[in-house]
A and B are shown apart, each in its own frame.
Chain A
Amino acid sequence: MEWNCWKMLKGINMSFLLEFKGLICCSEMGPSSSGKTQVCLRTASNVARNHMVLYLDTGNSFSPQRIAYFLGKTISPSSAQAKNQFLQKVMSNISCHSVFDIFAMFDVLHQLESYLRCQDGRGGFQMRLLIVDSISSLISPVLGSSSTLGRALMTSAGYLLKKLAHQHNLAVLIINHTVGGEGGSSKPALGDSWKCIPHSRLFLSCDRGSNTYNVSILRHPSMASGKAARFVI
């Protein structure tokens, strides 16, 4: 089953469209305040019109007001009551869970797995998007250089997300941070072992003092890496 998530991001002026097939995990990374959470909220608000969204929030950055703002911008002006009803319907499609450590995330994901297994085949709204904001704050505390358990947890988390994406046709959007590398350049957090887990990786950055954001592809199964686009939210 194929559906285009990013095509629904109207209002973001991107010069090319990234297609998220129902099976792909995407990992977004960028330095602080590069618009990662904004992109997640925007995506969630667009997808929630027709499908269900699960938002795993690790840093209390989920903002219902912002989602309402995004939705309010796009619907045609009508009566306040109709607007309220529309907002209620869409907001009820988004469920937000706060997770503050990796074991809580495993818990939520296992519950989601059993829920989706019962839900498959029934009609109505289907869950189509899972957002994890952000996975680096869950995994970095357990990643130590001496013990291997941290990396084992990271790999198992990655595989669980991939399994959910493949078996239940979810698109998974993961937020990662950047850390300082050698020579002052920034590199994605969670190291090289994490690089092998997501299907596609995007790098977001923000121009100082303006509202324009840059996104470039670091890895994609069918597009050449290095392609970039600018957008405003």
Chain B
Amino acid sequence: MGSHAKAWLVEDESAREMLDRVLTERPFLLLPPLHRVPLRVGNVVELVGPSSSSKTHILIQAAITCILPKLWKGVSYGGLGHSAMFIDLDCRFDVLRFSELLNHRIMEAANGSSSKVGCHQKDSEAQFERMKPYNEELFALCMKRFLYIRCYDSSEFLATLKTLHYRLQKEREVHGVNVHLLLIDSIGAFHWVDRGSSSFPLECDNRKSWHLQNVSEAVVQEIRRLLLVHPMLVMATKAVVLGNKYSTNELTWNYRKWSAVDNPYSRNITSSDQQLPYREYMPAAWQSFVTHRILVRATDDDLVNGEHQNNSIYLLKWLLPPLNSLDKFTVRDTGVFILS
């Protein structure tokens, strides 16, 4: 009896050992263009922006970084080697574009490594041809790690979330890798439909009525439960309408508004009169669940890329935690490319 009680007091590991373990198992992610703030599992990142501001591209970039392996057959790809789960509520995902971006990343990494050795032009081409069957094998391996689900309304979304635990467990048994990333394309996709259907009462009294708030609370509850068992980084996009004063000229972005939140202690006081550049429509349950928020939008400027077509330039601003910097990036065939 005494030895059992003593066994409780013996420590499992020191603090340093625990920190080492946690940092290797749950590393900080620095995904361009979200490289300013390191992200970890358990964070909920919301990408906010008007329509067609490359939010889905940022999600795809994160997914590709997640599913690529760190090192494969001697070539470093710089990925995480985990699975990624994409829940498509917008139903606009273009799998061909995704595979194009993945292929370009794989080829870029393969070419990068061969050029480091310092081969001649002919040698590198021959090496590329030799690498081609490897690339297809790697491509197939990566695509197997990308899980995709499409939902056409809120009830399908809730059903998906409730059964996701078993699906992820099965994937873990089959592939041996954990799911590290949960991507939700357009969390506000069913906002209007749910708002409209709240005027229709359900017949039975003991069930909760289908209100926007109830649906949102249920979604948040299910994701929280999922995160307990499968620690993941959650990234969601949200389409908003920007106010008129935020025109495409970036000089009109008013830095004076954000200076009040430089002091972290005053953040709670000023957050209520902090003027967001868009109208927030998600219920409070989701708003309090989000830990990081980023605003992206397109500018009218184009990046003239030589003989290639013009690529639009996008602006990125961190709203939570509020940073004073504006990042510029553009979308190319290899993915998102930061300009400044």
Binding site for B on A (CB under 8 A): 21, 148-149, 151-156, 159, 162-163, 166, 182, 192-193, 195-196, 199, 218-219, 221-222, 224-227
Contact = CB atoms under 8 A, between A and B. Distances in A.
Contact of B309 (A148, A152, A224): A224
A159 B89 CA distance: 10
B312 interface: yes
B196 interface: yes
Which 6 pairs between the two chains have the least Cβ-Cβ distance? A152-B196, A221-B94, A195-B51, A151-B192, A222-B97, A219-B52
B52 A195 contact: yes
Interface in B203-254: 239, 241, 244
Contacts of A148: 192, 195-196
B192 A154 contact: yes
Residue picked from A152, A182, A195, most chain B C-beta under 10 Å? A152
8 contacts: A159-B152, A159-B153, A166-B150, A192-B50, A199-B92, A219-B51, A221-B92, A222-B97
Contact of A152 (B51, B100, B150, B193): B193
A138 to B, nearest CB: 16
Interface of B: 50-52, 90-92, 94, 96-97, 100, 150, 152-153, 186, 189-190, 192-193, 195-197, 199, 239, 241, 244, 302, 309-312
Contacts of B195: 148, 151-152
Residue picked from A163, A182, A196, A225, most chain B C-beta under 10 Å? A196
Given A152-B192, A163-B152, 4 more contacts: A151-B192, A166-B91, A195-B239, A196-B239
A155 B190 contact: yes
- Chain A, interface SS category: helix
A162 B311 contact: no
Given A199-B94, A218-B52, A219-B52, A226 B196 contact: no
Nearest to B195: A148
A162 B88 CA distance: 12
Residue picked from A148, A149, A225, most chain B C-beta under 10 Å? A148
Contacts of A195: 50-52, 239
B196 A151 contact: yes
Nearest to B240: A192
Contacts of B92: 162, 199, 221
A192 B193 contact: no
A153 B150 CA distance: 20
Contacts of A21: 94, 96
A218 B193 CA distance: 26
B193 A155 contact: yes
Given A155-B193, A195-B52, A196-B90, A149 B199 contact: yes
A226 B51 contact: no
Nearest to A156: B193
Nearest to B199: A149
A21 B95 CA distance: 11
A225 B153 contact: no
B181 to A, nearest CB: 21
A6 B52 CA distance: 23
A226 B192 contact: no
B100 A222 contact: yes
Nearest to B94: A221
B153 A193 contact: no
A149 B97 CA distance: 35
Contacts of A219: 51-52
A152 B310 contact: no
A94 to B, nearest CB: 27
Contact of B51 (A163, A166, A196): A196
Contacts of B199: 149
Nearest to B241: A192
Contacts of B91: 159, 162-163, 166
Given A21-B96, A159-B91, A227-B309, A193 B192 contact: yes
A21 B239 CA distance: 24
